[in-house]
Structure 1
Amino acid sequence: MTSINDLIDNSKMLQLITERLDHIPKNEAINQLEMNHELIELILNLYNDDEDFSFEKMQKFSVDDILSYLQVTHQYYLNKKLPEIEQSLLHIFSKYGQSHQLLASLAFFFNAYKNKLIDHIRMEENQLFPYIKEMIIASKMKSKCIENLEINPCFSIEKFISSHSPIEDELKEVSQIIKQYSGNEAIPLPYKIFLNQVDLFELELRKHAIIEDQVLVPMVIELEKKLRIPLSN
């Protein structure tokens, strides 16, 4: 069982989950998420135990609730977590680039991964999430009105699943490669901090993927099924 408790205590874990709420875009109408303590508590339970977690408990929330949480998390990653890790990279490079050339060069494995992650997030923000929003709207409308929606006919959850790679696995591989090659080195403290940040972020992404794949996607699949049945006037 993957547990973040190996790296962080429960109070810090709660902070890890709730601090993303500071990154809710002011122009987005998702501020109700801040008050949804029940959802946050369930997510905290998921962070504690993703093996025995009851996903049925999350079915009581709407697709909007889950989607809002994932959107906020994307902003949190882009505006806080990635910049923090990049700052550690810059510090390592500036201070140890000459004396620990191997460590400095290995750290840039993460930089390549960061670009992949940003592309991954942008794809979801530009394709998946707008598609889901249109599906939510369509599920609340009469069939004759659905035709006016801008639902991408070339996109579906099935296609998303088939092309959706577990990007968190790539980060774990990056972390393992870095540790393997730096295992015989006297690792400076800033580098240890960097590795700890990478480990925490990998766990973060894994929990994010669980919510996305095992909660959001099944909900949207159900929406798609309902929309295949003509709605009565």
Structure 2
Amino acid sequence: MTRNTYNELINEVLMHQSVTERLEDFSGKNRIELDNELIELILDLYNDDQDFPYQKIRKFSMSDILAYLQATHRYYLTKKLPEIEQSLLHIFSKYGQTHELLAELCMFFNDYKNDLIEHVKMEERAFFPYIKKLMKADTGELSQAEIRELLSTTSIKQFTEHHDSIEDELKEVSQIIKRYSPVERPPMPYRVFLNQVEFFELELRKHAIIEDHVLVPMAIELEERLRAEL
């Protein structure tokens, strides 16, 4: 097996683990059950998002898409961010606080973590509840008056206009490391940290793609249909 083939296999295993692992509630008692075809499509999206047939995912229910995205939020906050922080603490314990690179990385990552948490909280506090209300309206759980009030005060457009690309900020990590290591490769702990961050950036990018190209178009279509029925 060539090194490239081996690396591809490792990446494929990591992708599969990453996608399926978030479906656990981390207590080991409950698991979000999603259609296997949906999981396979998400894995395909992780492998290659160029010319991806988003309509294949849109055939699944909005509740399934939303359940996956919310599980992803929990996964990020309870597992991925703590793992990256642990790597940073390991570097700190090894190199101490006098290391200029370490100081800048710590400051950047702390600011980034706060931005990401606020981003997730906004979606969980406002965006996703609005989607759930749209779904309730679609199933007849809201009155005409309630639907009219909902659509007159909120819209998907309001959320998408203020939807930051939070994953783009993570590119700064590799730039910081390269700035302090222009010739020699950075020490192993830094490379581990960088690999974690780069994989997390990929994670966030795929998450954003599912939101922007699957959930949002489905929600806009539902909004338009509900308005037409008023």
Q: CA deviation at 1:98?
A: 4.6
SS in 1 for 2:24: helix
Aligned residue pairs: how many? Answer: 222
Match 2:22 to one of 20, 23, 47: 20
- Within the alignment, does 1:121 sit opposite 2:120 as a pair? yes
Identify which range, 49-58 or 172-181, moves more after superposition.
Answer: 172-181
SS in 2 for 1:229: helix
**Once the two structures are superposed, what CA deviation does each residue of 1:69-110 show, in whole Å capped at 9, x if it has no partner?**
0000000000000000010111111221256x1221122212
CA distance in 1, matches of 2:221, 2:158: 15
SS in 2 for 1:90: helix
Please say if residues 135 and 224 of structure 1, whose CA atoms lie closer than 8 Å, have aligned partners that are also in contact.
yes
Q: What corresponds to 2:138 in structure 1?
A: 139
CA distance in 1, matches of 2:217, 2:88: 38
> Does the C-alpha gap of structure 1 residues 182 and 155 become closer, same or farther in structure 2, counting only changes over 3 Å?
farther
Q: CA deviation at 1:7?
A: 9.8
**Once the two structures are superposed, what CA deviation does each residue of 1:160-185 show, in whole Å capped at 9, x if it has no partner?**
11111111111123332333233346
> Does the C-alpha gap of structure 1 residues 67 and 113 become closer, same or farther in structure 2, counting only changes over 3 Å?
same
What amino acid does structure 1 have at the position aligned with 2:45?
Answer: L
CA distance in 2, matches of 1:140, 1:68: 18
Q: What corresponds to 2:33 in structure 1?
A: 32
> Does the C-alpha gap of structure 1 residues 152 and 104 become closer, same or farther in structure 2, counting only changes over 3 Å?
farther
Please say if residues 117 and 167 of structure 1, whose CA atoms lie closer than 8 Å, have aligned partners that are also in contact.
yes
- Structure 2: 5+ residue stretches without partners: 1-6
- Structure 1: 5+ residue stretches without partners: none
Q: What corresponds to 2:166 in structure 1?
A: 167
What amino acid does structure 2 have at the position aligned with 1:12?
Answer: L
CA distance in 1, matches of 2:161, 2:197: 27
**Once the two structures are superposed, what CA deviation does each residue of 1:12-71 show, in whole Å capped at 9, x if it has no partner?**
22112111112378999x8332xx211110000001110121111112101111101000
Q: How does 1:25-64 map to 2 (within 5 A)?
A: 31-33=32-34, 36-64=35-63
Q: Indicate the RMSD between aligned Cα atoms, in angstroms.
A: 2.6
CA distance in 2, matches of 1:124, 1:222: 19
CA distance in 1, matches of 2:187, 2:173: 19
Q: So what's the TM-score if we normalise by structure 1?
A: 0.86
